Structure 1
Amino acid sequence: MKPEEFNRAVDQGEIAPLYLLYGEEPYLVERAVKKLMDRLVDPGFRDFNLNVFYGNECKGDEVFSAAQTLPMFADRRVVLVKKGGDLPAAAQEILLGYIQDPSPSTTLILQAEKVDGRKKFFADFKKKGEWVEFKRPYENQLGPYVRDEVRAAGKRIDGAAAELLGYLVGNNLQELVSQIEKLCIYCGKKEQITIEDVKAIVSDTKVESVFEFTDALGSKDLPKALRLLTTLLQDGEAPLKVLGGVARHYRQLWQVRELMDRKVPSSELAKAAGINPYFLKKVTDQARNYQVGELKLVFKRMLELDQAFKSGGIEDALFERFVIDTCRK
């Protein structure tokens, strides 16, 4: 079951007895769990009709017993197992019997980040229940995601403003939703959110500095890039997070550079690269600073830098050397 199918079914009251909600994006998984809980359990009766367990701590018999218990003053009981992918083998063995014949008055929810689908318990669960995987959106999906979130909040957002917000914040959905909430509050009764509104809200955050830093790198402006890097690191920004922003930016530059080398007309570049036209001139100007061979070398250096950070290298000095090499003309 796809996430959109899950949302539609829950909205229509089509509830299954077994759900596995999992994926690499914890915000979306948590939101899906909340959606089910809000639909199924009256807040006033949660003490009676909601049981919460943790897969790495619980025993199969206590989950089994809770799932078999009839709801009180309600039509349905919810049994939630967080960290469901960590259920011990003994617990999985006990619960195999339950998933073959689940109680019609209980919804059993397993919440997990990763699941080993090769194990019999999860393989059988997939056959009998609903599996919903929540993936972290790709960068080119952030604009549509922002527009959907803003629409759900009762407002509209310019296409370029949605792309800018996604670009500045990245695919950390918790942070992205937080910024959308700030935008809606900032705009008050105004229905349309613009680029100016996004800049006004995000400009004071660290992501704006990362945005400026990647632009300085792409432009091969060494003094500005070093100055911004120093500021970011002194302000406590994690070097790996900054490197992630750099990698995102250079993937875009590489894509545009290849399209330009293939003589794709300027009028078609934005669509072909999946870039909002608002940003196209800046990206193409920076892409002209590099040949594809140079970009390959930049990515090789980024990989080396990533490995050095993870092995405990001296981050500031290594990052400065990377900036100097990248900005070399």
Structure 2
Amino acid sequence: MGQQTGGLSFEQLEVAFQHGNFAPLYFLYGEESFLIDTLQQLLIEHALPPELRAFNLDIVYGDETEARAVLGLCQSLPVMAPHRVVIVRNFDSLRENRLFAAYAERPNPQAIVLLACSGRPNLNAQPYRALRQHAVWAELRPLRPAQVPGWLARYAEREGYRLEPEALQRLAEYVGTDLQAGVQELRKLFAYAGTRHTLTLDDIVTVSGQTRSYNIFELQRAVGEGRYSDAVYIVEQLLQHASNPRSEALRIVSFLTTFFTKLWRLTLCQGQRLSNQALAGRIGVPAYFLQEYLQSARRYGGDAIRRVLAALLAADVELKGGSQRDPRLVLHLLLRQVQAACRAPLQQAA
């Protein structure tokens, strides 16, 4: 295979797998397990037809087997198929996996072996050093918030759909950096849209089980504009219609945390004389959404935003088991803290 001077991206591997261009050995690691899962599925789908998988596909887990047994699978020949596919999950937990350093130098040319770690191993140790030298490798990290809209747009395009700009941005804000949640929402949107191939903000709101007037995007707008009575009412509506109020409350906290984190990034850019396009890029929103964020950042100010982020963290801890308080009470107290944090900048502005 030759020495790899740098790792490949998810997109490069995705295109290669879809076109049936396979190497005999892959080494994947990183915190974004969803991307690893996706590449694993693409490999299986495009390397072996379903009728040949029974005798030519092995998926094993490192903490359930030993290296010598796995190496035996990797050295086996395919049965009436062009390739034998061996996938090793939790490769970093495989006992004596250092034996793969030698395999990396001379992999079985009739096999496609994918070794996937659950995180980032010690790349200076064997067999990881040899794998980075001889295998096709990729480090799959969680996407930054600014990368999520583009990723969602590309996924939708591959399925034959296009999201309107506002719909795309709001969907990205809704799912955060959870790509699995993003794909689940997109699949629901595809099923809802039917023969329509352009997806709108109304589609996203409807599929999420909310209404045009009372949804998480309107909640963000109400908080950003300092309309706290409206924010409280929207929260009430969201919790009232939620099948699991605690999960809904956690989603609201996560959503608002993303919003205030973007406001905090804007305050850090003050005095840098950046263009609107550059500012939008810094916080990961399209330029036409920037004024909404700038106005909210001015309304709160840096000190208030820090206090709000601390309150959001405390609410997150409570909702995840830090207290037994009702989720509705937790959110009401949170909104009071947000209102109190904003009060000083508003008075100064007045």
- Specify the TM-score bucket, using the shorter chain as the normaliser: 0.7 to 0.9
CA distance in 1, matches of 2:307, 2:215: 25
Q: Deviations over 1:20-50 (max 9, x none)?
A: 2233222221110111112222210111111
Q: 1:216 to 1:159 in 2, by over 3 A?
A: closer
- Which structure 2 residues correspond to residues 306-325 of structure 1 after superposition, within 5 A? 306=316, 312-314=322-324, 316=327, 317-325=329-337
Equivalent residue number for residue 54 of structure 2: 47
Q: What is the CA-CA distance between 1:295 and the residue it aligns to?
A: 1.3
SS in 1 for 2:322: coil
Q: 1:85 aligns with which of 92, 104, 109?
A: 92
CA distance in 2, matches of 1:26, 1:231: 34
CA distance in 2, matches of 1:19, 1:184: 32
Amino acid at match of 2:190: C
Percent of counterpart pairs with the same letter? 25
SS in 1 for 2:143: coil
Aligned length: 325
Q: Deviations over 1:56-86 (max 9, x none)?
A: 1111121111111111101210111122232
User: Residue 61 of structure 1 contacts residue 95 of structure 1 at CA under 8 Å; is this kept in 2?
Assistant: no
Q: Which runs of 5+ in 2 are unaligned?
A: 1-7, 344-350
SS in 1 for 2:31: coil
Equivalent residue number for residue 190 of structure 2: 184
SS in 1 for 2:44: helix
Equivalent residue number for residue 293 of structure 1: 303
User: Residue 205 of structure 2 contacts residue 215 of structure 2 at CA under 8 Å; is this kept in 1?
Assistant: no
Amino acid at match of 1:57: E
Structure 2 residue 128 is matched with structure 1 residue 122: yes
CA distance in 2, matches of 1:273, 1:99: 41
CA distance in 1, matches of 2:175, 2:137: 29
Amino acid at match of 2:102: G
User: Residue 101 of structure 2 contacts residue 128 of structure 2 at CA under 8 Å; is this kept in 1?
Assistant: no
Structure 2 residue 236 is matched with structure 1 residue 225: no
- Which structure 2 residues correspond to residues 125-164 of structure 1 after superposition, within 5 A? 125-164=131-170
Equivalent residue number for residue 206 of structure 2: 200
Q: What is the CA-CA distance between 1:297 and the residue it aligns to?
A: 2.2
Q: CA RMSD in A?
A: 3.0
Q: Which runs of 5+ in 1 are unaligned?
A: none
SS in 2 for 1:288: helix
Amino acid at match of 2:194: G
Point out the more displaced range, 213-222 or 153-162. Answer: 213-222
SS in 2 for 1:298: helix
Q: 1:267 to 1:81 in 2, by over 3 A?
A: closer
CA distance in 2, matches of 1:225, 1:245: 14
CA distance in 1, matches of 2:15, 2:146: 24
CA distance in 2, matches of 1:293, 1:44: 62
Equivalent residue number for residue 4 of structure 2: none
- The alignment's TM-score, normalised by the length of structure 2, stands at 0.80
